[in-house]
Chain A
Amino acid sequence: MKLKSKDLLGLRGVSKEEINFVLDTAVSFKEILERPIRKVPTLRGLTVVNLFYEPSTRTRISFELAEKRLSADMVNFSATTSSVRKGETLKDTVRNIEAMKIDMVVIRHSASGAPHFVASCLDSSVINAGDGAHEHPTQALLDLFTLREKYKKLEGLKVVIVGDILHSRVARSNIWGLSSVGAEVAVCGPTTLLPYQIERMGVQVFSDLDQALEGRDVVMALRIQLERQKGGLLPSLREYTNLFGITKERLKRLNKNFTIMHPGPINRGIEITPEVADGPYSVILDQVTNGVAVRMAILYLLSGGEEKVE
């Protein structure tokens, strides 16, 4: 099997077979990461450029490590501002970089669709490391990997995503990915932070956290940002915490063997209490560990890899 596209831009429309193919491949890479020498020559001679137009710690380091473990040559580029009029355009930037002979681009950008735009300008493979409020496919794949590791199968799993759905690319990619593999997805958040007709994405919608948690296996809490208060979407973080904070008390409504997830970075005590974030049912750090393996699998498969690696 091979991936259909040269790029990974999003999970919308990606089949169950392809998702499982990536996750299966990631299993082999996770084994490598557990060896004493965590490095393979798989991508030797290939050059990957990490273009980060938005601040990132976790995703960026995760990609960098994945590239290094695969022996790829990597270059980092970060810019605090996007293109537009002043300075060089995004198109010129990426075409100049490509002219230096590279094979893959990993891009994080605040504008939804920026990776699609870059992919249309380049022959290199493009991996979306998060674009605006659109998609963050590698995050969703590592979330799926983490859940599959724990539950063995994803079909029928009941997942609720809690928080700022409106601005969340993690929510969108997870909705597509989880739905594609047969999980049942719900979203829960204040009505000002639920996007228009979100139910048409095939999810149940809640604004009452207790109702939303009832009978779920997995809770995925999202980061809430202080700027939403200034934007008039929330009265205060205090009230948000009262209504949507994941507390130990509320976990009673979940199914046995439940799981707590968070894509990070966490606002401890706001969307999730420290107690819950660090509890035995929390897989937040496993998500981070698995991120490297999943990204290795994606880099490998997009570089033309077909079968499982040894």
Chain B
Amino acid sequence: MSEEYDLIVAGGKVIDPASGLSSVADIYIKAKKVAKIEVKDLVDLKKSKSSKEQKIVDASGKIVAPGLIDMHVHLREPGREDEETIYTGSQAAVAGGFTSVCCMPNTEPPIDNQESVNFVYERASKALCKVFCVGAATKGLKGEELTEMADLKEAGAVAVSDDGMPISSSRIMRSALDYSRMLGWPVISHCEDLNLSSDGVMNESYTSTLLGLPGIPSLAEEIMVSRDLSLAEFTSGRVHIAHVSTRGSVELIRAAKSRGINVTCEATPHHFSLTDEIIKTFDTNARVNPPLRTQRDVDEIKKGLKDGTIDCIATDHAPHSIEEKDVEFGAAPPGMVGLETALGLVVTELIDKKILTWEKAIAKMTMNPSRILNLNLGRIEKDCRADLTIIDPEISWTVDTSKFKSKSKNSPFQGRELVGKAWMTIVDGKIVYRL
């Protein structure tokens, strides 16, 4: 053993969808990078332990995945540091097993110019995980004029989006797709026809009828998905549909993909785990946009995850303060935190229920978002960044929001029993979280 390593992750089952590796292996890390991967038939730690200089992590019985990437989070900085900061968001991220997150630009003020992108990266330099910035597609998120996208890119932004709001003007959306194509970027689209969603506060369904709450019909999303798919086809631009929540959207995207339209999409853990029926207690933590839908929608999202229509799992982590949520249902802002429950929900709702294999699930949280945003991450191979998520696939735990690292606790999953949790999170070869 001539070479010295900074860290060895030994004996875990390494699942790397990018290379197809799925077996027990030791991963040797040096200078923030993966230096060597040694596939082995049997777990054998003795040999590795020979040098006392080397730190060894015994990952036997665990799953070692490329560091998870969440391509859709709201970190609230600048503007609402009482709810979350880039730093606290990164604490929540690594506790949830994420080594990279992409933060959306709907802060106060929005991230719509080079200077504000620089601000995010300045703050991100102290974060526990990698933070990538998504810039606004239009100035002030107003949907009227394009942002200086080349400038945003130069500062390090990885895509554009007006997330939180749709780009209502079809003309501006067309321009955004045309212009971002020049930069090789997707436009991440929040699909919502505001005329249809109107004053709605939950999904329009039998449950909204029972509760007498104004509804948001599923077609408020589907009409915009349909529009964006047509615009992407026409412009040859690239559209990524954020937080797909309805059966019709999944079907539209599936059909568009088969026609060769340049579209990708994501689904959130809450949209594949919950239906709008949990609103029966008027729990404002269940208010989210797009709203929780019905079982039929949940089933189709699972189907879309299984057949590959849905490329990614992203949390849409949306922290809100207690005082904002501790009000009448309709008065609460939409959104829920998700970073610390995502992996458990993926294991419990998708892997254990045989919707996805470990390989497919991990791909949707690593390789796929990396490819969509050209992050050059999300895989385990020699010389790549040593971002690893070590998962305990068996552990049963109960969601306790008071233990969240996130500054905000607005989760409807409080008290829920889940299986699977991040056991250790490694960013650039450094252990940033351990259970």
Contacts from A to B (Cβ < 8 Å):
12, 82-84, 89-91, 109, 111-114, 116-117, 131-135, 169, 172, 195-198, 200-201
Give the distance to chain A from B69, nearest Cβ to Cβ, in Å.
35
> Given the interface contacts A134-B211, A134-B212, A195-B209, does A113 sit within 8 Å of B323 by beta carbon?
no
Contacts of A89 in B (CB 8 A): 323, 326-327
Which chain B positions have C-beta within 8 A of A84?
Answer: 327, 331
Say yes or no for B213: interface residue by CB 8 A criterion.
yes
* The residue from B212, B323, B328, B329 contacting A169, defined by CB atoms under 8 A apart: B212
Task: Find out whether the CB atom of B328 lies under 8 angstroms from the CB atom of A201.
Answer: no
Across-interface contacts of B212 in A (CB, < 8 A): 112, 131-135, 169, 172
A91 to B324, CA, bound (A): 11
Evaluate contact between A90 and B210: CB separation under 8 angstroms. Answer: no
Q: How large is the interface on B (under 10, 10 to 19, 20 to 34, 35 or more residues)?
A: 20 to 34
Is B215 interfacial (CB-CB < 8 Å)? yes
Taking a contact as CB atoms closer than 8 A, the residue among A109, A112, A196 that contacts B206 in the complex is: A196
* Residues of chain B lying within 8 A (CB to CB) of residue A113: 211, 213, 282, 328-330
Please report the C-alpha to C-alpha distance between residue A84 and residue B328 in the assembled complex, in whole angstroms: 9
Q: B192-221 interface mask toward A, CB cutoff 8 Å, 1 = contact, 0 = none?
A: 000000000000111011111111000000
Q: With A83-B328, A84-B327, A111-B330 in contact, is A196–B210 under 8 Å at CB? A: no
Q: How far is the CA of A132 from the CA of B213 in the complex (A)?
A: 8
- Distance (Å) between the CB of A134 and the closest chain B CB? 3
Complex-state Cα separation, A37 to B434, whole angstroms: 75
If the complex has contacts A91-B326, A111-B331, A113-B328, are A197 and B211 also in contact, measured as CB distance less than 8 A? no
Is the CB–CB distance between B329 and A112 below 8 Å? yes
Per the bound structure, the CA–CA distance linking A113 and B208 in Å amounts to 12
Q: How far is the CB of A39 from chain B (nearest CB, A)?
A: 36
Question: Nearest chain A CB to B121's CB is how many angstroms away?
Answer: 32
- CB-defined A-B contacts under 8 Å, sample of 10: A82-B328, A84-B331, A91-B326, A111-B329, A112-B330, A113-B328, A133-B212, A134-B213, A172-B210, A201-B209
B281 close to A (CB within 8 Å) = yes
Known: A89-B323, A196-B215. A114 touches B328 (CB 8 A): yes
Partner of A111, one of B210, B281, B323, B328: B328
A113 to B329, CA, bound (A): 7
**4 extra interface residue pairs, beta carbon distance < 8 Å, beyond A114-B328, A117-B329:** A82-B331, A89-B326, A131-B212, A196-B205
Q: Which residues of B contact A133 (CB under 8 A)?
A: 212-214
Given the interface pairs A82-B328, A84-B327, A111-B328, the reply to whether A116 lies near B209 with Cβ below 8 Å is: no
Q: B282: which A residues are within 8 A, CB to CB?
A: 112-113, 116-117
| A196-B204 in contact (CB<8A) | yes
A117 and B209: CB pair below 8 A?
no
Q: Report the bound CA distance from A114 to B210 in whole Å.
A: 15
Minimum CB distance partner of A194 in chain B: B209
Partner of B210, one of A12, A91, A116: A12
Which residues of chain A come closer than 8 Å to B215, judged between CB atoms? Answer: 196
Q: What CA separation (Å) do A134 and B206 show in the bound complex?
A: 13
Chain B nearest Cβ from A243, distance in angstroms: 22
Give, as a whole number of angstroms, the nearest-CB distance from B37 to chain A.
53
Alpha-carbon distance A218/B330, docked complex (angstroms): 34
